[in-house]
Amino acid sequence: MNRVFTILILIGLLGCQEDKKIPSAQEIVDKSIQVSGGKKYGNSNIEFDFRKIHYSSELENGQKVLKRRIENDTAVILDVKSPSGFERYINDSLVVLADTTSNKYANSVNSVHYFAYLPYGLNDRAVQKRLLGKVDLNGKSYYKIQVTFKEDGGGDDFDDVYIYWFNADTFKPDYLAYEFHVNGGGQRFREAYNERYVGDIRFVDYKNYKPKLENTTIFNIDSLYLNNQLELLSNIALENVQVNQGSYN
């Protein structure tokens, strides 16, 4: 009788240990940020080129300022998104913009920076995270996490839905997908490649896909990927990445 009781206790303890092996969504994201750059994201100045446009994230008076510099034959356009708002300069002159136009440009600048620094932004105040389970992709195990946004602080596209696949061994986000509603809406699936560390911060490029069929659910888009039901739209590549230690002075 004592032997049976001991075996039951051991089984119960083993079951508890198995449960503890599955981290929470927050723990997964925290670990992912740590292995991808950690505090370096917040105290570094970062520059890169994307589709012939120069982007930079700079520390100014202890706050992050996002910039985009566009040059053509007739003008140099500088977009600046700071905690105090958005400004556009053309040939060093400040341009007065309508609020709708200003928001459009600000969202465009923010979007490129957001994807470039993932997973760093996944701990922003408006982010809501939920672990969907553990799945296999291309022979590797991944934690599948849904990310949504609160309306307060979530931006104009707060109702978009994101899915991230974090490698269960490395905790790096190797895949992501999102469902958007602007311009008719749609879904995208991104596969990371060309991983490199610059200034101890992880950067990747992406193969950008969309579903071949309409009316698919974002929660099953990984199955579409495995069954060759996604169409390659483009490659999203960052060039000339530079990282320099910032200053709060």
Q: Are residues 97 and 139 in the same domain?
A: no
* Confidence (pLDDT) at 135: 97
Digit-by-digit pLDDT tens for the chain (249 residues) are: 555 444 445 455 455 444 457 899 999 999 999 999 999 998 999 999 999 999 999 998 888 999 999 999 999 999 999 999 999 999 999 999 999 999 999 999 999 999 999 999 999 999 999 999 999 999 999 999 999 988 765 455 567 899 999 999 999 999 999 998 777 779 999 999 999 999 999 999 999 999 999 889 999 999 999 999 999 999 999 999 999 976 544
Domain-embedded: residue 28: no
Q: Are residues 138 and 105 in the same domain?
A: no
Q: Are residues 187 and 230 in the same domain?
A: yes
Give the other-Cβ count within 10 Å of 132's Cβ.
14
* Confidence (pLDDT) at 157: 57
* Confidence (pLDDT) at 15: 52
- Is the separation of the CB atoms in 88 and 97 below 8 Å? yes
- Is the separation of the CB atoms in 123 and 33 below 8 Å? yes
Measured over all CA atoms, what is the biggest interatomic distance in the chain, rounded to whole angstroms?
89
Domain count along the chain: 2
* Confidence (pLDDT) at 117: 97
- Which residue segment(s) compose the domain that 93 sits in? 42-116
Q: Is 140 left (phi over 0), alpha (psi -120 to 50) or beta?
A: beta
- CA dist 205 and 230 (Å) reads 18
Domain end residue (candidates: 57, 92, 116): 116
Q: Are residues 134 and 215 in the same domain?
A: yes
Domain-embedded: residue 6: no
Q: Are residues 177 and 110 in the same domain?
A: no
- CA dist 234 and 218 (Å) reads 19
* Confidence (pLDDT) at 8: 44
